[in-house]
Structure 1
Amino acid sequence: MSQPTYRLANHTCVVPLVQSWAAWWMTTVPAPASLHVHKSQIPLLKAYLQNPDFHARAAKDPALSGGTFVGISPERAGEVKALLQQTQEAQADRVKMAEALEDFQGWLMEEAKGQSLEPLYEKIPEPLRGLVELAYDYHNRAFLRVMEGGLYRSRYHKPELQSLRLLRLESDSSRPHLFTTPYLMQAGQLDWAVPFSEERISRLFETDLSPRPLGYLRDVLGPAVTSDEQLLPLLTEEPPATYTPWEGAQPRVRYLGHACALVEWKGVTVLVDPVISARPAGGGMTRRTFHELPPRIDYVLITHNHPDHLHIETLLRLRHRIGQLVVPRSGGMMVGDYSIKLLARSLGFQNVLELDTYESLPLPDGEIVTVPFLGEHGDVCQAKSSYVVRAGKQQMLFAADSMCVDDAVYRHMRQNLGTIQTVFMNTEIEGAPHTWTLEALFPKKRDRKLEKNRRCRGSNAAEGLRLLELVGASRLYNYAMGLEPWMENIIGPPSPPEAPRMKESDRLLAELRAKGLGAERLCGPTDLLLES
């Protein structure tokens, strides 16, 4: 009699953590992570310990969504205190590096006014020695260029703090907020201490499509599992879904939620900005989860580094299926303009392509082209790209949160690539402050009054309409609106219909329909067949 085989249950989340905090680039990339732990995580934990009751209440208040409140009950304040102490001990060198980065950069800007920088190298503080270069821009403004590749080989890269937390997802709202609340251990969870680059991670996630006996899973997880009773509630004997390749004459786009879309064309699969969720045990919005995706994903395209687009949790789970991970090119001129390619390599990806504007990759009777992503969108000079995917005569622009702030860019795009029939685009007129996710990268003293109109927004209705006119589009899919409940732990609860961004979306859709163009706002899994 054959042994039963298992895969991870549909309700099982596997969350990558860095010392109990969810992994995203500000907890994982060495230099930003050092600033983040010093200027965000440690102060946040200290603030919580001063008033745990207030933090616990505020974190549950929808009116305070997006605030810096730790959503942990006061009864567990002792565990938070222990985590704070462990963080200060394990990341003391990162804290020293962060202090050196901030202090020396400020000193450098005051001291260097255009003269040779060579004598100033002896002033570089010890935590930065051998890891930074001093440089000027063409206006003689001095800055530090971090040697990022060296940091991944230094003590500031800390894979020993990485782990995977296996947990039962009860509801979408049960997950701690990505930025403000660490994952404390709960009953029924497993904590697997394993660096993200380990091949063993792929062995676990291969069971999403190829279930294995219980002994195999115990061997992969090692000491994290102390008994079968601990592991079995996270598993299922239910076979995975059978994937049927798309063979239609037109490309199929399977919208999976938020900014995530799967393009299928002539045997090739292209996945854009993947954020995939487990299915809550308690029910919730319909979704496609990991065992329902293709066994081979030829290309994954990342538009930019915001964690609702570059989702380490999803990337790790799909790593073994991905042929090429395509990311925007970094300039490396600022600490926050980190290399997504180097981050991906640290996550165990071998085939990472960093494309510049208008570089392309061939598809059967088609191509993928990297095109401009315009607007500040809170990026403060960071790697970002939009993509045009051509499948036969059909061209699709995945614009993410790009804005139409310069008509000439889109005229140039049409001159180079021809008519782009379909546009996937976000609508946002307010957005979070431009420092959303990035506050730790900024100096302590700056003129915040000048920053008030710098927001993480996308196109408004007028800009969206103009963009479609310039590229000759006949249809719009308004996406990346944060309407799916599984995005709540990243970007907060879905916007209500009366929210300004939703009214602006309504305005754009109505204007396009009045002009006879196709216009639809996407929410939840939707199959789209792009006819000529």
Structure 2
Amino acid sequence: MNTDLYYLRPNVVFEPLIGRWYAWSHLISPATAAMNVQGRHLKIMNSYIQAPQIHAAAVLNPKMLGGPFMDYKESKVEEIKALKENTIKEQAPLLRLAEAIRELNSMLEKEAKGHSLESLYEKVPEILKGYVELTYDLNNKPSFRFFEPLLYKSEFYDQRSQSLALWVTENDERPFCLSTPRIDAPGVLHLDIPFDHPGIDALSRMKRIPGPIDEVAALLGVTAADRKLFDTFFTKEEHPPYRPYEGPAVRMRYFGHACILIETQGVSILVDPLISYYGYESSVSHFSDVDIPDTIDYVLITHNHQDHILFETLLSLRHRIKNIVVPRTTTGALQDPNLKLVFNAAGFHQVIELDDMETVRLGDCVITGIPFTGEHSDLNIQAKTCYHVEINDYSFLFAADSRVLESRLYQHVHRLTGDIDVIFLGMECDGAPLSWLYGPLMPEELARDKDQSRRLAGSDFGKGIHLVDTFRPKEVYVYAMGMEPWLEFISTVRYTAASNPIVQSNMLVEECRNRGVIAERLYGEKEILYAKSPAAVTEEVNG
């Protein structure tokens, strides 16, 4: 037995998969998983099997980025046929659930006309009985809600579909995560383990604390045939140690997209973790895993989109995270899965739900949930919140992708928060249409003009300047634009100077600067030290 101690190489990717598709929250919650397997995965696989050449051409067209096209440069038809057959067999309960959800919706549309719904429970599809409550809204429109915790205890939640792909990367290039499954390939090791497996934490710790390879291999169930590949993921070379912040100020570090780290001597807060871990040369300066604290007091999740909840990052950090704060939802609606249940299922147990204007306190730090409107295509989704963080006499507003739909909302909020020192605002103001993300959940395809009008859009100049007018910040940072190269496999964003989000955010930055407000559109990395008193001059460090 080899008792030597090794580190995990910094450029080993932890890619969580469900049914060999990139794992995101809608593939964990049983009801949304069912609809995505049926309405996204099988559709894409069938399309590829029928015409792989169309997919190969589409992924080369920049206008098709983010579309339902598999990114395989050579034909993998036989492999995809095998994956399809395995999906139909192994995920049969989810496919039955998807059909039952569609049947239930159709039944309610035909028979629920405003009279009591009690008699319709006998017409609920058999496999859904006891898992749903039938409801009307106040306009007598019928609907239903899930008893979601029960679904996680049923046949519809099966951890056997979860796995982890390990491989070494040298660049940021990856296929779009929602359209291309991960089939067997040289250099990729697939571990058939659930996301709550303790071996994931043991492996992650070896990025900083060396350990014996034999021990972690046994814990993960690595086979003898895979040991040669598994062993290549390790090195005896020590990684640079994390240097905790020990200054008297508040340190802000931008890690790309919507990921912000706020640190003092006593508290660390990480917002929407999405980190380029991997230790390879890049044309864009950026912080990485070596810049993340050994202990993270709070991870703040703003909303349930795949570019804000990245399990690839979160599973690697799980052993360091003390608490995850998520927006509260108990709607039971198909489009609004409960995030606490999602994170619990993935092995995160210290999960705090926060409602609008509720607070969490840690010493002198106060975290408050702030209403988040827009960016969800007008669907009734409650699992979204902005965060107001007060720490060491400074206040920060992480507005994420919020779009100001009603100007008076934040005026009401301002009466409670007062002025805010620093605002972070997402301005991806065009956004994808409703169907791009939520299409598999829709019982019927939406007309194109309606689909195009209901977009996953953040703030434009007018919406953003309203926040500035309302909260009177000293600093404004545009973020969450998905521009960093390590984001492309999730966001598929490629802006030019003429792109509307760039034009709109440029306008905001210029207007703020004309008013004497510090403003910038963030990219790559940035570090700022905020002194104890907001009146003091801040020290800025750019990467």
Which TM-score band applies after superposition, normalised by the shorter structure?
over 0.9
Task: State the shift of 1:3 in Å.
Answer: 5.2
Letter in 2 for 1:442: M
> Between Structure 1 and Structure 2, how many residues are aligned?
530
Deviations 1:354-410 (A, max 9, x none): 110111111332311111111143362221000011112210000000122222222
Task: State the shift of 1:303 in Å.
Answer: 0.2
State the SS of the aligned residue for 1:416: helix
2:414 is equivalent to residue 414 of structure 1: yes
After alignment, is 363-372 or 150-159 more displaced? 363-372
Task: State the shift of 1:114 in Å.
Answer: 1.9
- Counterpart residue number, 1:289: 288
Q: Does the 8 A contact of 2:148 with 2:332 survive in 1?
A: no
2:218 is equivalent to residue 219 of structure 1: yes
Deviations 1:399-438 (A, max 9, x none): 0001222222222222112210100001133111123311
Q: Does the 8 A contact of 1:169 with 1:278 survive in 2?
A: no
Q: Does the 8 A contact of 2:430 with 2:456 survive in 1?
A: yes
Question: In structure 2, do the counterparts of structure 1 residues 445 and 216 end up closer, same or farther at CA, with 3 Å as the change threshold?
Answer: closer
- Counterpart residue number, 2:84: 84
Distance 2:252 2:134 in 1: 47
Q: Does the 8 A contact of 2:243 with 2:291 survive in 1?
A: no
**Where do residues 172-211 of structure 1 align in structure 2 (5 Å cutoff)?**
172-173=172-173, 175-211=174-210
Task: State the shift of 1:62 in Å.
Answer: 1.8
Distance 1:26 1:530 in 2: 38
Task: State the shift of 1:225 in Å.
Answer: 5.4
Deviations 1:185-230 (A, max 9, x none): 2111111110112222211111122111222232222234535431
After alignment, is 128-137 or 45-54 more displaced? 128-137
2:366 is equivalent to residue 367 of structure 1: yes
Q: Does the 8 A contact of 2:332 with 2:338 survive in 1?
A: no
Give % identity.
37
Distance 2:96 2:478 in 1: 45
**Where do residues 368-383 of structure 1 align in structure 2 (5 Å cutoff)?**
368-378=367-377, 380-382=379-381, 383=383
Q: Which runs of 5+ in 1 are unaligned?
A: none
Task: State the shift of 1:482 in Å.
Answer: 0.9
Task: State the shift of 1:282 in Å.
Answer: 6.3
Q: Does the 8 A contact of 2:196 with 2:345 survive in 1?
A: yes
Distance 1:85 1:420 in 2: 54
Task: State the shift of 1:322 in Å.
Answer: 0.6
**Where do residues 35-184 of structure 1 align in structure 2 (5 Å cutoff)?**
35-173=35-173, 175-184=174-183
2:309 is equivalent to residue 314 of structure 1: no
After alignment, is 286-295 or 10-19 more displaced? 286-295
Letter in 1 for 2:250: P
Letter in 2 for 1:332: T
Question: In structure 2, do the counterparts of structure 1 residues 181 and 225 end up closer, same or farther at CA, with 3 Å as the change threshold?
Answer: farther
Distance 2:183 2:67 in 1: 20
After alignment, is 228-237 or 517-526 more displaced? 228-237
- Counterpart residue number, 2:256: 257
Task: State the shift of 1:31 in Å.
Answer: 0.3
Task: State the shift of 1:281 in Å.
Answer: 4.5
Letter in 2 for 1:343: V
State the SS of the aligned residue for 1:223: coil
Letter in 2 for 1:465: I
Q: Which runs of 5+ in 2 are unaligned?
A: 535-543
2:373 is equivalent to residue 384 of structure 1: no
- CA RMSD in angstroms, aligned pairs only: 1.7
Letter in 2 for 1:105: N
Distance 2:385 2:196 in 1: 25
**Where do residues 434-473 of structure 1 align in structure 2 (5 Å cutoff)?**
434-473=434-473
Letter in 2 for 1:497: A
Distance 1:227 1:19 in 2: 20
Distance 1:45 1:181 in 2: 9
Q: Does the 8 A contact of 1:373 with 1:399 survive in 2?
A: yes
Letter in 2 for 1:441: L
After alignment, is 211-220 or 521-530 more displaced? 211-220
- Counterpart residue number, 1:324: 323
Deviations 1:271-318 (A, max 9, x none): 000011232646453333324311100000000011110111111111
State the SS of the aligned residue for 1:103: helix
Distance 2:42 2:306 in 1: 21
State the SS of the aligned residue for 1:353: strand
State the SS of the aligned residue for 1:246: coil
Distance 1:145 1:135 in 2: 7
- Structure 1-normalised TM-score? 0.96
Letter in 2 for 1:367: V
After alignment, is 307-316 or 284-293 more displaced? 284-293
- Counterpart residue number, 2:344: 345
Distance 1:281 1:528 in 2: 25
Letter in 2 for 1:277: S
Task: State the shift of 1:518 in Å.
Answer: 0.4
Distance 1:108 1:242 in 2: 59
Q: Does the 8 A contact of 1:303 with 1:386 survive in 2?
A: yes
Letter in 2 for 1:502: I
- Structure 2-normalised TM-score? 0.94
Q: Does the 8 A contact of 1:52 with 1:73 survive in 2?
A: no
Q: Does the 8 A contact of 1:485 with 1:494 survive in 2?
A: no
State the SS of the aligned residue for 2:220: helix
- Counterpart residue number, 1:498: 498
State the SS of the aligned residue for 2:232: helix
Q: Does the 8 A contact of 2:251 with 2:529 survive in 1?
A: yes
Q: Does the 8 A contact of 2:159 with 2:194 survive in 1?
A: yes
Distance 1:441 1:336 in 2: 7
Task: State the shift of 1:251 in Å.
Answer: 0.9
State the SS of the aligned residue for 1:170: coil
State the SS of the aligned residue for 1:97: helix
- Counterpart residue number, 1:33: 33
